[in-house]
Structure formats: C-alpha cells, structure tokens
Amino acid sequence: MSEFVVENRIWDPVEKLSQPELKALQLERLKDCVQRAAAIPHYQRAFAQAGISADQIKSLDDLRRLPFTVKSDLRENYPFGMLAVPKSQLARIHASSGTTGKPTLCGYTKNDLNLWAELCARFLVAGGLRPEHTAQIAFGYGLFTGGFGLHYGIEKVGAATVPASSGNTDRQIMLMQDLGVDVLICTPSYALNIAEVLQQKGIAPESLCLKFAHFGGEQWTEAMRRDIESNLKIKCFNNYGLSEIIGPGVSGECAARTGMHIQEDHFLVECINPVTLEPVKDGEQGELVITALTKEAMPVIRYRTRDLATLYSDPCPCGRTFRRMGRVIGRSDDMLIIRGVNVFPSQIEEALLRVEGTAPHYLIEVSRPGNLDQIAVKVEMRLENFSDQMSEMQKLKSRIDHEIHAITGIRMQIELVEPNTLERFVGKAVRVIDNRKLKD
C-alpha cells in the first residue's frame, strides 16, 4: 500500500445533496428527459408499445413503467436515429463496438461535453487529482471514450494533461520520468504491464513522482489493486462508465474506496435480475440499467448495460450522498473486453463469414500471459480454402486477420487448425474460452 494519503475533497457540492433534494431533482430531470425522448421516433414507438406516455411520469417509481433500451436499438437507429437534437448541434461523436458491423455511436452537444468533463472531474478529485498535478493518459485517443473523456476532466480540474495515448510502454515510462507525472490514467492491466517493464529496466518505482492512478475500461480485482499498489507504490482508484451512456464518469471511487459513487444527479441506476428483469435488493448482484437524465444529444432511457454489479446505499464516510456500485464482476451477455476494447464473438463470426469457407467452426481463446490480454481465433481449415502453396496459406491468414481487425479494431492471433478438431455442440455452441484468471 502506498504512503500517499488522499484528503477528502468534493468537486461539486451537489455530491452532498440530501436525499429529498436529490429525489426532487431526479424527478424533475426524469420528466424532462422522457419528454425529450418522446420526440425521438424510436422512443415514440417503444413508449406506445409499453402503453406509457411522457406525461404519465409522476414519480421516480414510474421509471419502471418505461421500456428498456438495448444495444440493438442503438444499432438499428444508426447513425443518428437516437438523437434528440439536430445533427448540426453536435459537438463530438464517439463510438464503441457494435455486436456486428457498425459501431454504436454516442453524440454530444457542447453542453454534453461540458457535463462529461464535470463528471470526470468529480471522480478524479475524489481520487486525489489536484490542480498542481500532471496526469498522463495512456488510454487510446480516438472514437473510444476513454482518452478524450478523462482528458477534458483533468483539464477541468486545472491539472496538466500528458496525452500519451495507448501503447509504447518505453515512451510512457520516459514521459513519466522526465515530466514528473503524478497521476496515471489507463486500464489496470496496462498499469501492471508498466510495472513489469519498470522492473525489467531496473527502474525503482520510487524514482517516479507517481502518486495515484485512475483505472477503468475493464474488469479487475482487489488482488490486482494490491499488486499494482505494491509494484508501483501508488494508490489506485476505480471508475466506471460506458460510451452508450456518456463514457467514463458514470461513477467513481472516493478516498474511502468502498465502491464507486454513482453521479445520481445525472444518472438513474437500477439493478435488475437479467432473467426476470425484476429489481434486486441493494447489496445483491444484478445487471445495471442506466437512464441518462440530462444528456441533450442522446437521452437514454433504461439502458441495459449488461454489466453485472451490486449497488450499496449505506452512508459513506466521505460525505457524498450518492449511492455506490461495486466493481463490475461480469457480463450478462457474451461481450469480451480485450485490452479495454469491447469485442463480441458475433463480430468475429461476421469477419470469418467474409472470408469464404472459414465459418462456421471457430473458437475464440482469451488469455492473459503476463499482464496483457491476448486473443486467439482458431479456425478450422476446409478443402476449398486449402492451398498446396505456403504463400496462399499465409494470404488466407492475413485475410482473416485483416477482416477481424477491420471489424473489431484489434489484432488477434489467427490459428488454422485441422478439420473436425474443434468441439461440436448439440445445443448452444461455446465459441469462447476465457482463460484469464481474475481472482481476489
């Protein structure tokens, strides 16, 4: 454990709002949100089907009468069908992987971007960021919300940003050393990787100025937190978000680190049983369902995140009144997170279908040798794409690699295997073997 102590500082007084005040604000915002959503054809249809109209929302309990929104709704309304404002009012567009082909878009107005930065500032300050700090972002900058979301949050706090983006660990370390970086922003597995490279190079972590780290983008454990804290001599904080809702900033840990405070003035979070769709009690594990109350460009009603976690409403010593959520401990669908990037097995299947004769027999194997995720795709050979020439076989592998990269954005190890060697399934096929060990 690090000797750095995080003094409890609260960025926005709203984080200490009393329950009655918070509920009143939420209800007012929920009514407004539903009104704005009702102007979007998708929600018009969905509300009509559920037999509810915007003016029937009289209490927060009425939230449960509203229909769920799922990822395929976003895909079917690609690119701009879920917008509540004209495209001309957009200030930025981010995206995450869709289950197939097209990505899932997230549009922001200027006000949305400001809100997003404010929300990131809240959890960054809760987790020790101060205006005098320098923070290095080792998340990819691009359509992925991790890089830019944190970037503007750090600037909002008044700290200096080092937008290193992802990869090139040697350069990341050089920047941390030379610039006296205080705070690291990345995925927890990448932090472990940095720690390992430091050790290989014989650089003592104490020789860096690093004090804190804010991690998000993938599942991790308390055991990983202990490892990173002892290897890098820092204090680590967890944050949570998803691009469909806004990106990072939905929730984050305070100094007490007993769960991530949900920014409840902007997000209504429910926890449901993913099978019965009934709410589960606080303290019980379920799927998070999030309503984004205040986003102008894309209000989102009851989005099924597929992330499994637990909500806690007991008081927190930090003084924030917002409820907390525990770590995401799994998914209620088959989405994989590979080095912070969302990957669906259906995307790999789609890529293979583009290469003649490769589907339907394939297997995805995920592992974490060392600290970084690796994903291998085993594809059964067929007579029609077998060539006696090695160059042709290498071309086949490259084509598969190219199609998978084009759809998922990440490189996978392609393995051609003999026919009839992958297991056949009578019922639902098991296409993924995840050998990553995430143990506490």
Partner 1 sequence: MRIKQLSLFVENKSGSLHSVCKVLAENNISIRTLSLADTEQFGILRLLVKEWEAAKNVLEKAGFIVKITEVFAIPVEDRPGGLAELLAILDRGGMNVEYMYAFTFGRNDRAVIVFRFEDPDKACKVLEDNKIDVIKPIDLFD
User: Residues interacting with partner 1, by CB under 8 A?
Assistant: 381-383, 386-390, 393-394, 415-421
Separation in Å, CA 37 to CA 43, 88, 387: 6, 18, 55
Closer of 284 and 392 to partner 1 (Cβ) = 392
Q: Name the residue nearer to partner 1 (CB basis): 10 or 417.
A: 417
Please check whether residue 223 is in contact with residue 439, taking contact to mean a CB–CB distance below 8 angstroms: yes
Q: Pick between residue 16 and residue 399 the one whose CB is nearest to partner 1.
A: 399
Q: Residue 387 is encoded by which pair of tokens?
A: 């060539």
Amino acid type, 307? D
52/416 with CB nearer partner 1: 416
Nearer to partner 1, 88 or 389 (CB): 389
Q: Which is nearer to partner 1, 207 or 421 (CB)?
A: 421
**Contact yes or no for 128/212 (Cβ under 8 A):** yes
Q: How far apart are CA 26 and CA 291, in angstroms?
A: 11
CB of 387 to partner 1, least distance (A): 8
Supply the minimum distance, in Å, between the C-beta of residue 418 and partner 1: 5
DSSP 12: -
Shortest distance in whole angstroms from residue 394 CB to partner 1? 8
Q: How far is the CB of 383 from partner 1 (least distance, A)?
A: 5
Residues recorded for the chain: 440
For residues 92 and 399, which CB has a smaller minimum distance to partner 1 in the complex? 399
Q: Which residue has the tokens 């940003």?
A: 161
Q: Which two tokens stand for residue 23?
A: 């509920």
Residue with smaller CB distance to partner 1, 316 or 396: 396
We find the least distance from the C-beta atom of residue 64 to partner 1, in angstroms, to be 52
In the bound complex, what is the minimum distance in angstroms from residue 406's beta carbon to partner 1? 22
Choice between 160 and 417, CB closer to partner 1: 417
Q: What is the SS3 assignment for 408?
A: helix
For residue 330, the cross-strand partners are 308
Min dist CB 373 to partner 1, Å, is 20
**Least distance CB 131 / partner 1 (angstroms):** 52
Torsion angle of C-alpha atoms 147, 152, 156, 160, degrees rounded to 10: 60
What is the b/e burial string over 100-128, where b = at least 16 CB atoms within 10 angstroms of the residue's CB? Answer: eeebbbbbbbeebbebbbbbbbbbbbbbb
Q: Considering beta carbons, is residue 199 or 394 the nearer one to partner 1?
A: 394
How far apart are CB 375 and partner 1 at their closest, in Å? 15
CA distance 90 to 109: 5
Nearest to 238 by CA among 124, 95, 314: 124
CB 382 within 8 A of CB 322: no
Task: Tell me whether residue 319 or residue 419 sits nearer to partner 1 (CB atom).
Answer: 419
User: What is the smallest separation between the CB atom of 413 and partner 1, expressed in angstroms?
Assistant: 9
The DSSP 8-state label assigned to residue 264 in this structure reads T
Token look-up 């291998």 returns 376
Q: 3-class SS at 208?
A: coil
Strands (DSSP E) contained in 97-243 are: 104-109, 134-137, 160-162, 183-186, 212-215, 235-242
DSSP 344-385: -HHHHHHHHHTSTT-TT-EEEEEE-STTS-EEEEEEE--GGG
Q: How far is the CB of 380 from partner 1 (least distance, A)?
A: 10
Dihedral over Cα of 220, 372, 97, 414: its sign: negative
